[in-house]
Structure 1
Amino acid sequence: MAGRGISAHSVCGAIRDDIVSGTLPPGSRLVEELLARRYGVSRVPVREALRVLETEGFVTSRRHVGACVAEPTEREAADLLDVRALLEPLGAARAAQRRTEAHLKVLRGLVRLGRERARLGQLSDLRSLDGWFHETLAGASGSPGLAALLTQLRRKADWMYPPEPPARAVGTWDEHGALVDAVTRGDAARARAVVSARLERSLAAYRPRRAAVSSLKPSAHTGRGRI
């Protein structure tokens, strides 16, 4: 990312991606000047992006230190899964009731691509395809507030928990296909049940990433390093 005129929204997405990927590890100091240099922007969009990321829970401010990558506790990671288990089935049910033909076209296309990549073992694109699928499904709920919350929950789950093993890729996209079938039919109960079953299966196997999650008591240190 380089050049002038880059929006705080774009900078926010870039910083968030680096946090989720672990490029900026938990506890790292987020120095505006260094971030501006990293992304090729002025300090203004960086400052605005850090404020947004703090409201989302990815960044925290420490006295005498400034902005740092947050260090979620194990309890916070577990709570995140509980909230997802409540809201994702609701979002799927709403999507079945409110989706448009445009939503269905995108969802079907993503399932087709995801299944193809998974069965051919071409796994490098699946994470972005999965994110696109879930954002489209959330948008199909017809509730901007719910869609934004579901997207934020998914991003934080990607940060706190490792992705599913490659062996599960085909099954994951088959589940996505079953969900799209239910949404296409307008079957809210079935859509809710498909998502609930998927979450129950996957959540039982989830273990937080040690790099992203600290012990139940938040750490008192001032950061593991600088970017």
Structure 2
Amino acid sequence: MAGSRKVRDPHRDVIANELRQAIIAGRYKSGERLLEEALAEEHGVSRVPVREALRRLETEGFVTLTPYRGATVSAGSFRDSFELMQVRRALETMAARLAAQQRGGDAADELATVVARGREAARSHQVTALPPLIMEFHELVARASGNQQLQLAIDRVLQRVSWGFELDLEERIDSAWTDHAAIAAAILNGSPIQAGYLMDEHIAKDEQIYRSQLDHPGE
């Protein structure tokens, strides 16, 4: 019956989004407690939407819920990061192929623009400008796929990958944007096989860095 349908509380989504971004930005540290009462007071709501937001973040891997202790910020690990990178590689390879089938779709112009901005930032060694540009590039490829469910899945994985561990950007500035330019060209030229292959090879380089951290921790 329509009258019995549960309506989603928009406060839950707002609180979850704000907490997620705060965790990614490092404003909440690994192991730090997230007190329902304090968060409810901060957002001017009851504890119900806060509790729902924390449960959602638990399913995403950002929060750990423990009986009698409550919510704490999860401790990331290289194992988690490596496994997420494997998932990301498969999803983004698919996205690149689908994006090429549509020659970038409605994201074509933005894709070309972000590559130009990224290459310029790399040439002028603007290291701090690169992480958001890298994220924007991969988000645009996901959007260009035209598959909304795939886009949502990639967005979740990218948020987890970007949290708690940064690749050595100094080491890969030039090669990363050379890769991005080649991937974008294959997409805009309508070459699905080439676009998928190039994306797979591109993310495999990042995956190898995570693997090396697993094989040689502390080095």
Q: Report deviation, 1:149.
A: 0.9
3-state SS of paired residue (1:125): helix
3-state SS of paired residue (2:71): strand
The AA in structure 2 aligned to 1:139 is: R
Residue in 2 that maps onto 1:218:
none
Q: Report deviation, 1:182.
A: 0.4
Residue in 1 that maps onto 2:101:
97
Query: 1:10-51 CA deviation, whole Å, 9 max, x = no partner?
Result: 43333212212332122221113333566x554565444323
2-side partners of 1:141 and 1:148: how far apart? 11
Q: TM-score, normalised by structure 2?
A: 0.80
Unaligned ranges ≥5, structure 2: 1-9, 215-219
2:142 to 122, 130, 138: 138
1:120 to 103, 124, 128: 124
Unaligned ranges ≥5, structure 1: 1-5, 211-227
Specify whether residues 190 and 41 from structure 1 end up closer, same or farther in structure 2 by C-alpha distance, changes over 3 A only: farther
1:14 paired with 2:40, answer no
Q: Report deviation, 1:186.
A: 1.2
Q: TM-score, normalised by structure 1?
A: 0.78
Query: 1:151-174 CA deviation, whole Å, 9 max, x = no partner?
Result: 111111111431332242232122
In percent, how many aligned pairs have the same letter? 33
1:151 paired with 2:163, answer no
1:111 paired with 2:86, answer no
1-side partners of 2:175 and 2:194: how far apart? 18
Do the aligned residues in 2 keep the contact of 1:11 with 1:49 (CA within 8 Å)? yes
- Decide which moves more: 135-144 or 156-165: 156-165
Q: How many residues align?
A: 204
Q: Which has the higher helix share?
A: 2
Bigger Cα Rg: 2
CA root-mean-square deviation? 2.6
Residue in 2 that maps onto 1:201:
205
1:63 paired with 2:67, answer yes
The AA in structure 2 aligned to 1:135 is: E
Do the aligned residues in 1 keep the contact of 2:104 with 2:187 (CA within 8 Å)? no
